[in-house]
Structures are given as structure tokens and as C-alpha cells.
């Protein structure tokens, strides 16, 4: 009888999951030492920090990665589907049936065996149970949600533009973003740029656009030092973006956002970007321990209470040793955790010990599109260094390049960067469909 090949199953193809599958595919899949499988409910991957550009229509579609093509090139297997349950005793996961738009079942419920399971399903927006948020807000947690928002943005702009032209309405188009973390701030700057471009492209009856950010905290970007938060605030005010800080949202209706002090903000488009949690179905995952935002509790090797199950990225709650609290849910943390777990799994097959995860914070960066980039870089010798302008923009880009190199290698990343430069010079700066 042939030797059993170790089955590694990775759930979720975000920054952490796709980097891990690619790395293990090259190290273990290629020489036939293990069978690596990646499961995701989408067929393509986009680096999550770029979703605000997808939502605004400013990102080239070339940035999407087809999972099947990536799997073929890197010696792992891709499965299309959504995990819905876990049987730890049988060492298998349960995958939901796949249906078409008419609700007809195409593929029935399936189960897949594993020897090592890695959960990397990322995060979704946390609505905190506030009335009307689920029904009336748009989210940009996934590529499909970002595309849906972008389509609605263009459609709403056309409708309002026509209404103004035919004197049916002369109010500005109002967009309200709830949450002043990196997503909300970056999206507001991109939307400002897009609405100016729509006018530049000569759309008849161009209209005024009001963008408002509502935030419960008293400062923008709580993750950044106050001085940088202030610099970002000044930049947004210059762009004409309305900032409503220290306002807690209590209800969202079809036409407005209500705050705790009784103020009502009329809104044609409402975006929710106020905090994250792991998906709700992870709460009861066959006895695995989770925290109040559904993240799986892991030890310093990113292992759950089950020796065969690891968790990485936004869905993992890992203590940040020496800093108090947990490792923050950032792309750089996902990248580092994928590298650590890859080493641990390779060791696991050789009977060697797991590698402890040590988080290195390289700082926080926020891009305000072509207007500015602000942030802080951490240096072991010089402490925290504040950066802005061109240097910060280059560092911001380099975080994405690190992700691309982990997935494509250096040569392919260089070629993709060049092709994007040519593409951007030939194509419209925004997507109009």
C-alpha cells in the first residue's frame, strides 16, 4: 500500500492563505511531499488593502489573481466553495452546496479530509448590532461587494446628474462613510478623486458631491500617532470632506444615518467601515475557542487548542507579546503569519518543533490617493519615524510588492509592474461600467 500523503487544507485565499498555499506548493507540493489544497468562495484574489480602489473604480482589473491559474503554476489544488462546518474527530471540513442564481443546486454538500488545517478566512465588517446597518449600508469586505458599490456609485451619479440637468433636483449627491480607520479614510480620498474625474470626463450635468465620514472616536485613524492623525485630518478637510468625529451611529435608514446626539445625515450612498470581526459561523466550530469577535484563539505558534488546526490573518486572535492586546488585523501581520506557519508545517512533516510567531510592526501607512500618503515607520534603532509624501507612498507600495513577490516571485512581479504602468497610460483612470 502506498504511503499516506500528508493533506494540508487552507481555508480562505486572502493575503495570508494565498501566500501560504503558494509557499507550501513550491516547498512540499512540487516534490510530492504533501498535498496542498486551498478553498475559497471566490474564484479570484485581490489584496484586501486595495479594495477601496476597486470600490471607487480606480484599480486596474489586472490586479486580480485567478486562483486556478495560481494553483496550477505553484503545485497546489484550488477548490471553489464555502466552508460551513468542521468535524475534528473525523478530521474533515464540511463545504456548503453550490447553487446558481436561480437557487438550483449545482454541487451538493461535500466533505474534505485534512491532516493539517489552516483557517485564514479573514474578517468581515462588524455592525455591532446597530439597527438598519445590514439592510441599508454597503460593505467593502470582498471583491464582489467592492464591485457592487462601484456599480452603484456610477449609476447613482448618472441618475443624479440627469435629475439636476432636468431640474428635478438640485441637491448634491451625498455619500456617508461610517468609520475613520484606514478603509474609511482611503475610500473617502479615492471617491473625492473619482467624482472630480467623472466631471472632467464631461459627464453631462456634472453635480456636486458631498462626502462625510462619521467616527465614534475623537480622532481619525486610531492606529496612528495623534500627530499623523492630525495631518490626515487637515488633508481631508482641504479636500472638502466633512468629518464628524465623536459621533456614535445609532440607526441607519434607507435615506439617512442617525447619530447619538440626534443629528441626521441624509445619504444617497452609505458605506459601513467601522470595525471588524471574524465571520459568525466560526463561533461554533466544533469546540474551538473563540473571542467576542469570533476570532480563533491561538498560542504563540498560531496553533488553536487542536494540535492539527492553525489560524492566521484577521480570523486569528494571537497575543502581541510585550505590547498588551492582540496582534492587529493588518496585511503585514497576515504576511508574517503565513511565513511562520509555512516553516512550522514544513517542520511538522520532518518531526521538528513548531516555529514561534514574533510580530514585527513596520508601522502604519494610509494612502490618500494622489493627494498624499502619511504614516509611521518603526525602526529598531530609531524608534517611530513619521513619514509623509513621496517616501511614505513608496513604502506603502512596497508592502503590496512584498505580497506580490510572495505570490509571483521577483521576475513576474517586475513584469506585472511594467505592464500596469503601460496599461494605466492607455486606459481611462476610472471604470465607468
Residue 99 dihedral angles phi and psi, to the nearest 5° = -120, 160
Region of poorest pLDDT, from 37-51, 149-163, 309-323, 326-340: 149-163
Model pLDDT, residue 382: 36
Say if residue 67's pLDDT is above 60: yes
Which residue did the predictor score with more confidence, 422 or 34? 34
Distance CA 50, CA 47 (A): 6
Q: Packing angle between helix 182-200 and helix 226-238, nearest 10 degrees?
A: 20
If one counts every other C-beta atom within 10 angstroms of the C-beta of residue 363, the result is 20
Q: Packing angle between helix 331-349 and helix 15-24, nearest 10 degrees?
A: 30
Task: For Cα atoms 196, 200, 201, give the angle at the middle one, nearest 5 degrees.
Answer: 120
Q: Hey, do 6-123+278-349 and 133-274 end up sharing a CATH topology, with the first three levels equal?
A: yes
CB 14 within 8 A of CB 334: yes
Region 233-258 average pLDDT: 93
Q: In what order do the strands lie in the sheet with 6-11?
A: 77-80, 34-40, 6-11, 116-119, 309-311
The CATH topology of domain 6-123+278-349 is FAD/NAD(P)-binding domain (3.50.50)
| Strand intervals (E) in 217-352 | 242-245, 249-252, 256-259, 264-266, 269-272, 276-277, 296-297, 309-311, 316-317
Distance CA 74, CA 265 (A): 49
Nearest Cα to 335, choosing from 310, 357, 303? Answer: 357
Three cell numbers at 48? 484586501
pLDDT band at 384 (very low <50, low <70, confident <90, very high): very low
In the chain, how long is the greatest CA-to-CA distance? 79
Looking at domain 133-274, does it have CATH number 3.40.50.740?
A: no
Model pLDDT, residue 372: 53
Alpha-carbon dihedral angle through residues 363, 125, 277, 71, given to the nearest 10 degrees? -80
Three cell numbers at 192? 473625492
Region 231-247 average pLDDT: 90
pTM for this prediction: 0.85
Strands 124-125 and 116-119: unpaired
Nearest Cα to 265, choosing from 286, 283, 251? Answer: 251
Distance CA 349, CA 306 (A): 17
> Could you state, in order of their start, the residue ranges of all structural domains in the chain?
6-123+278-349, 133-274, 364-426
CA distance from start to end of the chain: 56
Region 83-100 average pLDDT: 95
Distance CA 126, CA 273 (A): 8
Tracing cell 513604502 back to the chain, one arrives at 395
Mean of the per-residue pLDDT values for the chain? 84
Note the pLDDT tens digit of each residue in 348-358.
999 999 999 99
**For 20-54, what is the HEC assignment?**
HHHHHHHHHHCCCCEEEEEEECCCEECCHHHHHHH
Amino acid at each position: 500500500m502506498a504511503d499516506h500523503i500528508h493533506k494540508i487544507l487552507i481555508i480562505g485565499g486572502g493575503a495570508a492563505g494565498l501566500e501560504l498555499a503558494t509557499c507550501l506548493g513550491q516547498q512540499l507540493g512540487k516534490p510530492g511531499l504533501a498535498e496542498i489544497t486551498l478553498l475559497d468562495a471566490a474564484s479570484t484574489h485581490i489584496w484586501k488593502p486595495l479594495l477601496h480602489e476597486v470600490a471607487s473604480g480606480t484599480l486596474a482589473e489586472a490586479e486580480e489573481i485567478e486562483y486556478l491559474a495560481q494553483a496550477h503554476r505553484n503545485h497546489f489544488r484550488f477548490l471553489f466553495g464555502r466552508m460551513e462546518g468542521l468535524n475534528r474527530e473525523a478530521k474533515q471540513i464540511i463545504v456548503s452546496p453550490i447553487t446558481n442564481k436561480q437557487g438550483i443546486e449545482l454541487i451538493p454538500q461535500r466533505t474534505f479530509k485534512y491532516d493539517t488545517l489552516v483557517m485564514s478566512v479573514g474578517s468581515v465588517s462588524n455592525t455591532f448590532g446597530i439597527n438598519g446597518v445590514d439592510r441599508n449600508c454597503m460593505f467593502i469586505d470582498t471583491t464582489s461587494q467592492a464591485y457592487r458599490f462601484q456599480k452603484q456609485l456610477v449609476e447613482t451619479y448618472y441618475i443624479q446628474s440627469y435629475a439636476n440637468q432636468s431640474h428635478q433636483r438640485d441637491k448634491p449627491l451625498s455619500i456617508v462613510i461610517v468609520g475613520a480607520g484606514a478603509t474609511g479614510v482611503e475610500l473617502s480620498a479615492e471617491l473625492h478623486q473619482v467624482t472630480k474625474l467623472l466631471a472632467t470626463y464631461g459627464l453631462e450635468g456634472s453635480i456636486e458631491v458631498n462626502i462625510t465620514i462619521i467616527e465614534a472616536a475623537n480622532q481619525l485613524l486610531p492606529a496612528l500617532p495623534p500627530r499623523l492623525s492630525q495631518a490626515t485630518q487637515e488633508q481631508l478637510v482641504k479636500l472638502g470632506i466633512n468629518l464628524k468625529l465623536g459621533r456614535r451611529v445609532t440607526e441607519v435608514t434607507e435615506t439617512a444615518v442617525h447619530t447619538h446626539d440626534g443629528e441626521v445625515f441624509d445619504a444617497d450612498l452609505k458605506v459601513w467601515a467601522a470595525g471588524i470581526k471574524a465571520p459568525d459561523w466560526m463561533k461554533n466550530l466544533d469546540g474551538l475557542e473563540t473571542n467576542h469577535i469570533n476570532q480563533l484563539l491561538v498560542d504563540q505558534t498560531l496553533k488553536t487548542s487542536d494540535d492539527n488546526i492553525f489560524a492566521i490573518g484577521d480570523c486569528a486572535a494571537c497575543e502581541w507579546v510585550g505590547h498588551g492586546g492582540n496582534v492587529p488585523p493588518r496585511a503585514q501581520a497576515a504576511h508574517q503569519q503565513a511565513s511562520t506557519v509555512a516553516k512550522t508545517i514544513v517542520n511538522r512533516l520532518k518531526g521538528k518543533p513548531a516555529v514561534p510567531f514574533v510580530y514585527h510592526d513596520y508601522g502604519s501607512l494610509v494612502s490618500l490617493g494622489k493627494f498624499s500618503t502619511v504614516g509611521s515607520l518603526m525602526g529598531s534603532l530609531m524608534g517611530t519615524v513619521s513619514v509623509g509624501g513621496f517616501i511614505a507612498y513608496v513604502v506603502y507600495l512596497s508592502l503590496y510588492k512584498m505580497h506580490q513577490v510572495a505570490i509571483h516571485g521577483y521576475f513576474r512581479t517586475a513584469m506585472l509592474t511594467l505592464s500596469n504602468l503601460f496599461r494605466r497610460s492607455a486606459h481611462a483612470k476610472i471604470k465607468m461600467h
